[in-house]
Amino acid sequence: MTLLMEEKPKVGTKYVAALRARFGAAILEESWQAPDQVTVTVPLNSLPDVVAMLYYEQGGWLATVAANDERPLNGQFAIYYVLSVEGTNEGSQAPENAYVLVRAQIPPHQPEFPSVTPKVPAAIWYEREVRDMFGIQPIGMPDERRLVLPDDWPDGLYPLRKDTMDYRYRPEPVVEDENYEFINVEGEGVVQVPLGPLHMTSDEPGHFRLYVDGEHIIDADYRLFYVHRGMEKLAESRLNYDQVTFLADRICGICGYAHNVAYSSSIERALEIDVPLRAQYIRTILLEVERLHSHLLNLGLACHFVGFDTGFMNFFRVREKAMKMAEMLTGSRKTYGVNLIGGVRRDILKEQRTLITQVLGELKSEVADLVSILLETPNIVQRTQNIGRLEPQVARDFSPVGPTLRGSGFARDIRVIHPYAAYDRVPWHVVSKDGCDVLSRTLIRAEEFFESISLIERCLDSMPAGPILTEGFKYKPYKYALGYVEAPRGEDIHWSMLGDNQKIYRWKCRASSYNNWPPLRYMLRGNTISDAPLIVASIDPCYSCTERVTVVDVRKKKATIIPYKEMERYCIERKDSPLKKY
């Protein structure tokens, strides 16, 4: 390794030592990408055991799983399980937080690997995605359905393999209808609720199915990824390193900048580029500006779903101030486009500083008023307390992120656990609650909002002098590293490997909602259907995504389709159950 890295002490050696003590010769190789990032290569058969040990015995959380077609490099596929290992002995000594990547090679003549999901449930979506995109079969995986690719995509065509297809190749649809098989819930009297894929209050299309007995939800299933476009392939084929930052902005229309920083920092970390301190501060400020508008949006929706529409409109009115702030700082309300590899593209001068300080003051007092009105509305506590419970054990098993996890008693925030940008240079504190319900998650967003304001103020006050861009570095092929950012809804993790033609070799980006969807099923169980939209909105999943709900009545064995609007109305008014009408 290079000189620079030896200067900093390595973090996480004790986890590697523990692995060696348990598995001995099964740890084939150990390599460090950064002082707190280590890759251990293990044989394919030990993969589930190694991941499970790190996850449950060493305090690991599953950050992402990246498969990679390394056949042009070494003749094998590879799969990386990325765990943020945080130790288990709390309080007694300083925590040792490191990213441990468990890597296993998969021979191309037998593209299979033993599934980790039976031991670590959090891996479920990742392994389904690996099967879709690379055609590598997880053996022993309980769920055989597609996750990412559309139903009309031909079998046996795996987009992310390097030798299968050009990124522009568009196969003819093999089927005209959606044929996704939702899970079958057996039992007396279930009602089905397919919500989707189009829906009014917004956004991403998605398709839900709720299984209910009378008014109570027994189970839920969903089909998402209607908007899969193939960004990862695009980044690998058409764009160069700097252009991918603009693509990363467009991963999500709400937390795009968080993705942008995660991507740039993964490349910077792989190349050991020193990003100037001032640029780090500017990134921190912009990330918090993004959190301001995202949290206001979710608070507004929380008002809407409990039927408090005045609050909803007021939160959105105030939110425009946060949007104005983003526009003053970056020139754009949404897709900021201010990152480059090595720094940022726009400074903060006196004019912007004065304006922002003024807007921050206005935001602080107006939102404080609105939040107190919201909490004094008797409806809100009544509708949200003990609703949509995410039990700590379920949270532990599925590695959810952001306010969803922090609402269940885990004070886990990537900004503290793996500090990046300027978060370890300004004082602030993590907000967590242990109510495990919709109320806790809403309150966390409200408190984090004020935390963000003071973070921005402190960053503006202590902003260092100096340049904002590093130039003149060289890209080195096949180096890889992680980039991580605590977006408003939880951590975004990017794993990037550099290529040899001024393009990324493999880019795996994982958005925060990705980890929050699988546990949602457990949050919905046991609640009444009138609370379903509220629970879905409480994980802020680029939000509720759905237009109609199929309700399956287990007792009457009858499937009814209810328009989403009707569900939303029922959630707000809580009378005239749609189940009786249809």
Partner 1 sequence: MLRDSVSNLTVAEHSKYSIHEDPAAGQLKAALLKDIHRSVYVYRVDCGGCNGCEIEIFAALTPLFDVERFGIKVVSSPRHADVLVYTGSMTRSMRVPALRAYHAAPEPKICVAYGACGCSGGIFHDLYCVWGGADKFIPIDVYIPGCPPTPAATIYGFAISLGILGQKLKTSHHVQGEDEHVSLAHPQVPYLLRVQLERESRRMAGYLYGKQIADTFLTMLEENPNQVKENVQAYLDKQADPRLSEIVARLVTVYDGYQGAV
User: For residues 424-483, which are near partner 1 according to CB under 8 A?
Assistant: 465-469, 471
Query: For partner 1, which residue of 209, 283, 319, 510 counts as binding (CB under 8 A)?
Result: 319
558 scored as a contact of partner 1 (CB under 8 A)? no
Structure tokens at 169: 């190749």
DSSP lists the bridge partners of residue 561 as 550
- To the nearest 10 degrees (0 to 180), the angle between helices 350-376 and 309-330 is 170
Query: For partner 1, which residue of 22, 364, 565, 574 counts as binding (CB under 8 A)?
Result: 565
End-to-end CA distance of the chain: 67
292 scored as a contact of partner 1 (CB under 8 A)? no
- Coil, helix or strand for 161? coil
Amino acid identity of residue 262, one-letter, is: A
The residues in 154-193 that bind partner 1, with binding defined as CB under 8 A, are 159, 165, 167-170, 172-173, 176-178
- Coil, helix or strand for 41? strand
Structure tokens at 213: 């007995």
What whole-number distance in Å separates Cα of residue 456 and Cα of residue 282?
9
CB of 339 to partner 1, least distance (A): 11
CB of 252 to partner 1, least distance (A): 6
Query: For partner 1, which residue of 42, 141, 348, 414 counts as binding (CB under 8 A)?
Result: 348
**Using CB under 8 A as the criterion, what x/- string covers residues 517-546 for binding partner 1?**
-------------------------x----
111 scored as a contact of partner 1 (CB under 8 A)? no
The residues in 231-250 that bind partner 1, with binding defined as CB under 8 A, are 231, 233-234, 238, 246-247, 250
The residues in 358-417 that bind partner 1, with binding defined as CB under 8 A, are none
317 scored as a contact of partner 1 (CB under 8 A)? yes
CB of 430 to partner 1, least distance (A): 27
**CB-count burial class (<10 Å; 0-12, 13-18, 19+) for 534:** buried
Binding-residue total with partner 1 (CB under 8 A): 75
CB of 468 to partner 1, least distance (A): 6
135 scored as a contact of partner 1 (CB under 8 A)? no
Query: For partner 1, which residue of 111, 150, 189, 499 counts as binding (CB under 8 A)?
Result: 150
DSSP lists the bridge partners of residue 41 as 29, 103
What whole-number distance in Å separates Cα of residue 534 and Cα of residue 378?
16
Burial 427-458 (b: 16+ CB within 10 A, else e): ebebbbbebbbbbbbbbbbbbbbbbbbbbbbb
Give the nearer residue to partner 1 in terms of CB position, either 80 or 336.
336
Query: For partner 1, which residue of 56, 225, 428, 517 counts as binding (CB under 8 A)?
Result: 225
Give the nearer residue to partner 1 in terms of CB position, either 51 or 468.
468
HSE-up of residue 356 (Cα within 13 Å, Cβ side): 28
559 scored as a contact of partner 1 (CB under 8 A)? no
Name residues whose C-beta falls within 8 Å of residue 312's C-beta, 6 or more positions apart in sequence: 300, 301, 303, 304
